[in-house]
A = this chain, B = another copy of it.
Amino acid sequence: MATEYRDPIESKDKQPRTARGLKTKRKLLDAAALEFGEKGFHEASITGITQRAGTALGSFYTYFDSKDELFSALVKDMSMRVKSHAAGAMTEWQDAFQREKQALEAFMNFAREHKEIYRIIDESEFVDPQSYRLHYEETAKRIFERLQEGSAAGDFRDGLEEAHAWAIMGMNVFLGMRYGIWSEEKSAVDIADLANGILADGIAAKKGQG
């Protein structure tokens, strides 16, 4: 038989059509987040995921095409969760500096409570580079918008570029890794204050010091 016709929509369509299916898919997704978070992509196994989820091995392929596809879906989901958590923490703000401080503090607390999310996003650099780039590009864009608003409000100086957003993001990510994931020896507030100090004044000696 020649190559048979496949509806591109149908072929992608592994969405559950009943309440039962939805529940199973949810269980698999949650289990996968744990498994990937604990073991990393390559050490994680489909068997491990279905065991955690309490389903049969084969059920996995009812909802996902492959291990990679699942991981990719997960990265997008986590990316969104980080984003909305941060957004939720910055609803009200007086000045732009305080808003950045809140953003970092929220990020650090989120990282602590969801270490597996941090790991999945980070590992996507190698498993699903596209999603990785997208995640950070969008995050940088969001920071950049805040920078522009801050400039307009007179809190930040003029002429800030997207690269400034990348610098701030890098600061936040590394502080989150070191003081959020690796150890909790310092409080999120203290770290956020410290980072804010850099943004506010830099690290130069004050006039008359030294």
Q: Main SS of chain A's interface residues?
A: helix
Supply 14 further A-B pairs (C-beta < 8 A) apart from A163-B175, A170-B173, A201-B201.
Answer: A42-B42, A126-B126, A147-B203, A154-B205, A155-B204, A156-B204, A163-B178, A163-B194, A164-B194, A164-B203, A167-B194, A169-B174, A170-B174, A202-B202
Given A126-B126, A166-B175, A178-B166, residue A157 in contact with residue B205 (CB < 8 A): yes
Selected contact of A133 from candidates B151, B182, B209, CB within 8 Å: B182
Given A164-B194, A167-B175, residue A204 in contact with residue B205 (CB < 8 A): no
Copies in the complex: 2
A residues whose Cβ falls under 8 Å from a Cβ of B = 40-42, 97, 122-123, 125-126, 133, 136, 140, 147, 151, 153-158, 160-161, 163-164, 166-175, 178-179, 182, 186, 191, 194-195, 198-206, 209-210
Closest to A162 in B: B178
Selected contact of A203 from candidates B156, B166, B186, CB within 8 Å: B156
In the bound complex, residues from chain B placing their C-beta under 8 Å from that of A42 are 42, 126
Q: Are B179 and A163 in contact (CB under 8 A)?
A: yes
In the bound complex, residues from chain B placing their C-beta under 8 Å from that of A156 are 203-205
Q: Are B209 and A198 in contact (CB under 8 A)?
A: no
Selected contact of A157 from candidates B166, B199, B209, CB within 8 Å: B209
A–B complex contacts, Cβ < 8 Å, 25 sampled: A40-B126, A41-B126, A42-B42, A97-B204, A123-B125, A126-B126, A136-B178, A151-B210, A154-B205, A156-B203, A156-B204, A161-B194, A163-B175, A163-B178, A163-B191, A164-B194, A164-B198, A164-B203, A167-B174, A167-B175, A167-B194, A170-B170, A171-B171, A199-B203, A199-B204
In the bound complex, residues from chain B placing their C-beta under 8 Å from that of A125 are 122-123
Q: Measured between alpha carbons, how far is A168 from B178 in the docked complex, in Å?
A: 13
